[in-house]
C-alpha cells in the first residue's frame, strides 16, 4: 500500500472521519492489526477560516503547496486535501508536487455517475457553492449542478462555520438543511452532494429521499483504492 499524505484539520471534525474511514478500509481488506499508512498535516482551522474570509486564497495556496511538498519529502506517495472548500487551490498544489493528488470532486463525480445520475444539488460553504472550481469539475464529468438560492446559501454556509466545524449538531439546523434539500429536489435534483465534509455530521442518507453523496467518505475510500493501484 502506498503512503497517503493528508492535508487536514480544515476542520478536524471531518479529518477524523477521513482517518477513521481509511483505517477501517485497510483493516477490512488486510485483517488483523493492519491500518493505513498516513502522514497528516493538520491545521489550526481558525487561521484558515480568517484567510478564506479575507480573500487570502493566494496565501492559502502557498501554504498548502509548501506543506504538500513537505509531505511528499516525508514519504507520501499520493495526496488528499481533506476538505471540499480548499480544493479551490488544488490546481496550484497539484502543479507543484510530483505525486498524484486525488481530487474530491472527481471522486464525488464518479460516485454520482456510478449511481446513474446526471443532475445533483451541491451543498457546501459559500465558496464551494459560489466559486466555480467545484461545479466546473463536476460538469466536466457530465453532471449538472444545482445550488440553493439566497437566503438558503447563507443558511447552509453559516451552519457549517458557526456550528459544524465547532462540533455542534443541531436538530433545528438539520431541519433547515432538509428543507433546502427538498426544495432542490423539487427543482429537479436527482441526488445531493454533501460538498462540505462536515455536512455528514448533520445529514445522513436515511434523512433524504434521494441519494446523498458523503464526500469525506467517498474521497477517503478513493484514496485507499488509489493507494493499492499499480
Enter the pTM of the model. Answer: 0.93
pLDDT band at 230 (very low <50, low <70, confident <90, very high): low
Q: What is the pLDDT of residue 198?
A: 83
Is there a single domain that holds both residue 116 and residue 183?
Answer: yes
Condensed to tens digits (0 to 9), the pLDDT of residues 50-86 reads 999 999 999 999 999 999 999 999 999 999 999 999 9
- The rounded mean pLDDT for the chain is 95
The domain that holds 168 is classified in CATH as: 3.40.50.1860
- Number of domains into which the chain is organized: 2
Q: What is the pLDDT of residue 173?
A: 97
pLDDT band at 100 (very low <50, low <70, confident <90, very high): very high
**Nearest-angstrom CA–CA distance, 9 and 13:** 8
**Nearest-angstrom CA–CA distance, 107 and 215:** 8
Alpha helices in the chain (DSSP H): 12-30, 45-53, 57-73, 90-96, 104-114, 126-130, 135-140, 152-162, 171-186, 215-228
Is there a single domain that holds both residue 199 and residue 109?
Answer: yes
**Nearest-angstrom CA–CA distance, 22 and 15:** 11
Condensed to tens digits (0 to 9), the pLDDT of residues 28-49 reads 999 999 999 999 999 999 999 9
Question: Which residues form the catalytic set?
Answer: 83, 196
Amino acid at each position: 500500500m502506498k503512503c497517503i499524505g493528508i492535508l487536514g484539520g480544515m476542520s478536524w471534525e471531518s479529518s477524523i472521519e477521513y482517518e477513521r474511514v481509511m483505517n477501517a478500509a485497510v483493516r477490512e481488506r488486510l485483517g488483523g492489526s493492519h491500518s493505513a499508512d498516513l502522514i497528516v498535516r493538520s491545521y489550526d482551522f481558525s487561521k484558515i477560516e480568517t484567510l478564506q474570509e479575507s480573500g487570502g486564497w493566494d496565501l492559502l495556496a502557498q501554504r498548502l503547496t509548501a506543506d504538500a511538498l513537505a509531505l511528499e519529502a516525508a514519504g507520501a506517495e499520493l495526496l488528499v486535501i481533506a476538505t471540499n472548500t480548499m480544493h479551490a487551490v488544488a490546481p496550484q498544489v497539484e502543479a507543484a508536487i510530483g505525486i498524484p493528488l486525488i481530487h474530491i470532486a472527481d471522486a464525488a463525480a464518479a460516485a454520482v455517475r456510478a449511481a446513474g445520475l446526471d443532475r445533483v444539488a451541491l451543498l457546501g460553504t459559500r465558496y464551494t457553492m459560489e466559486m466555480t472550481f467545484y461545479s466546473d469539475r463536476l460538469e466536466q464529468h457530465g453532471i449538472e449542478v444545482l445550488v440553493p438560492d439566497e437566503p438558503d446559501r447563507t443558511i447552509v454556509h453559516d451552519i457549517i462555520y458557526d456550528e459544524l466545524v465547532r462540533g455542534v449538531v443541531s436538530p433545528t439546523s438539520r431541519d433547515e438543511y432538509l428543507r433546502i434539500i427538498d426544495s432542490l429536489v423539487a427543482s429537479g435534483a436527482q441526488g445531493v452532494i454533501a460538498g462540505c465534509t462536515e455536512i455528514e455530521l448533520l445529514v445522513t442518507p436515511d434523512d433524504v429521499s434521494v441519494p446523498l453523496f458523503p464526500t469525506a467518505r467517498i474521497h477517503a475510500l478513493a484514496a485507499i483504492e488509489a493507494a493499492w493501484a499499480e
